[in-house]
DNA sequence: TAAAAAGCAGAGTAATTTTCTCGGAAATGA
DNA sequence: TCATTTCCGAGAAAATTACTCTGCTTTTTA
């Protein structure tokens, strides 16, 4: 049971955009270089993020992508759900198990929604100086 | 992001064994018939469950499987972890994300470990008369 | 106008995982 | 002895994942 790289890379991509939030558009090419990822693959990840309204694109030379909201308004859950689809633990559940899977789903979402992009950007910038994980 | 059928079928299999707990060995053939699953596939699920000490096998005619512990001592988490492997959200995590994945992992395990086989067997037997989900 | 970059679509593919099947060997009870 | 059942390993089939490549259009800045 594990998250696919799609969700992981998507979060990494969004953190990268978050690092430059307020400094104008960031090209996928530059993200690809910084994060050692394929630009083409990033295209496939950013498309759904754009459709979901998490990023905005600016076309043309010196264009790129910017976060569509402030980093503190975007949770990791928002990103993961867009890229991994809804956290459906199981499709056709047995009656006795339905509520259990539902509780699992909810608890995952609660954790993922408890961390914002802002939290992760700060963590990356200041390296473990924040308190969010000491709760 | 979803659980594979392996974990699901494994839980269903264990519930079935739980239904007959104390009444002697249950053959995979009978489980396969009751649950409309392939006997051969169940074989593959039960092997790790046996290795993990959750069930005991009795070979030969009129043999089968029995729970190795009381149903209230076996949690859904025990079963899922055996069949799905550890709940590793991600293999090679970014430093900033490590603790987040760890929190997700822990919260999933907490939920899965909060329900025992006994709970599910009772739920199946008495159809939603128990209180475990009304917390 | 030329270069940079997104946008879009589709094809393909390699690897991995999941799901499931098959064919026996060994053990056991009646 | 024989039917039943576990035990074991191999592997096939299907689905999913994780990309890669191609190629073209549109938008925008310098």
Answer whether A5's CB lies under 8 Å from B87's CB.
no
Question: E strands within A3-44?
Answer: none
Cβ contacts, strand D, under 7 angstroms: A 4-6, 9, 38, 40-41, 44, 58-63; B 25-29, 40, 43-44, 46-47, 50, 57-65
pLDDT of residue B96: 84
Rounded CA separation B76/B74 (Å)? 7
Q: To which residue do tokens 């392939």 refer?
A: B38
pLDDT of residue B15: 96
pLDDT digits (tens, 9 = 90+) for B63-77: 999 999 999 999 999
**Beta bridge partners of residue B64, listed in sequence order:** B58
* A104·B108 Cβ contact <8 A: yes
Answer whether A65's CB lies under 8 Å from A24's CB.
no
CATH of domain B5-85+116-134: 1.10.10.10
pLDDT digits (tens, 9 = 90+) for B8-42: 899 999 999 999 999 999 999 999 999 989 999 99
The partner residue sitting opposite B108, judged by closest CB among A108, A120, A133, is: A108
Q: Who contacts A84 (Cβ-Cβ below 8 Å, separation ≥6)? A: A3, A4, A6, A7, B1
Q: Among all residues of chain B, which has the CA nearest to that of A81?
A: B1
Rounded CA separation A82/A102 (Å)? 19
Subset of residues 25-64 in chain A with CB less than 7 angstroms from any atom in strand C:
27-29, 40, 43, 46-47, 50, 57-64
Q: Which residue places its CA closest to the C1' of nucleotide D19?
A: A41
pLDDT digits (tens, 9 = 90+) for B84-115: 877 666 666 678 888 898 898 899 999 999 99
- Encoded tokens for B60: 């030969």
* B124·A96 Cβ contact <8 A: yes
pLDDT digits (tens, 9 = 90+) for A100-135: 988 988 999 999 999 999 999 999 888 655 545 443
pLDDT digits (tens, 9 = 90+) for A1-24: 666 778 888 999 999 999 999 999
* B87·A1 Cβ contact <8 A: yes
Rounded CA separation B120/A92 (Å)? 17
pLDDT of residue B1: 65
Rounded CA separation A18/A26 (Å)? 10
pLDDT of residue A116: 96
pLDDT digits (tens, 9 = 90+) for A67-83: 999 999 999 999 999 98
pLDDT of residue B134: 42
The partner residue sitting opposite B107, judged by closest CB among A7, A111, A123, is: A111
To the nearest whole number, what is the mean pLDDT of chain A?
Answer: 86
pLDDT digits (tens, 9 = 90+) for A19-38: 999 999 999 999 998 988 89
Whether the CB of A4 is below 8 Å from some CB of chain B: the reply is yes
pLDDT of residue B128: 52
Mean pLDDT, residues B44-66 taken together: 96
* A90·B8 Cβ contact <8 A: yes
Q: Closest approach of chain A CAs to the CA of B46, in angstroms?
A: 18
User: Which residues in chain A have Cβ-Cβ distances shorter than 8 Å to B4?
Assistant: 1
Q: Is the pLDDT of residue B3 over 80?
A: no
User: Which residues in chain A have Cβ-Cβ distances shorter than 8 Å to B112?
Assistant: 100, 104
Rounded CA separation A13/B98 (Å)? 16
The partner residue sitting opposite A87, judged by closest CB among B1, B111, B115, is: B1
């Amino acid at each position: 049971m594990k998250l696919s790289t799609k969700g992981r890379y998507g979060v990494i991509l969004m953190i990268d955009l978050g690092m430059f939030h307020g400094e104008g558009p960031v090209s996928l090419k530059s993200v690809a270089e910084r994060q050692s990822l394929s630009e083409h693959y990033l295209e496939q990840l950013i498309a759904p993020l754009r459709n979901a309204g998490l990023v905005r694109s600016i076309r043309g030379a010196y264009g790129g992508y910017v976060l569509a909201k402030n980093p503190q308004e975007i949770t990791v859950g928002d990103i993961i759900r867009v890229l991994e689809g809804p956290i459906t633990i199981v499709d056709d559940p047995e009656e006795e198990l339905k509520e259990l899977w539902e509780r699992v789903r909810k608890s995952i979402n609660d954790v993922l929604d408890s961390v914002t992009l802002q939290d992760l950007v700060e963590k990356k910038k200041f390296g473990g100086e924040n308190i969010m994980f000491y709760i």
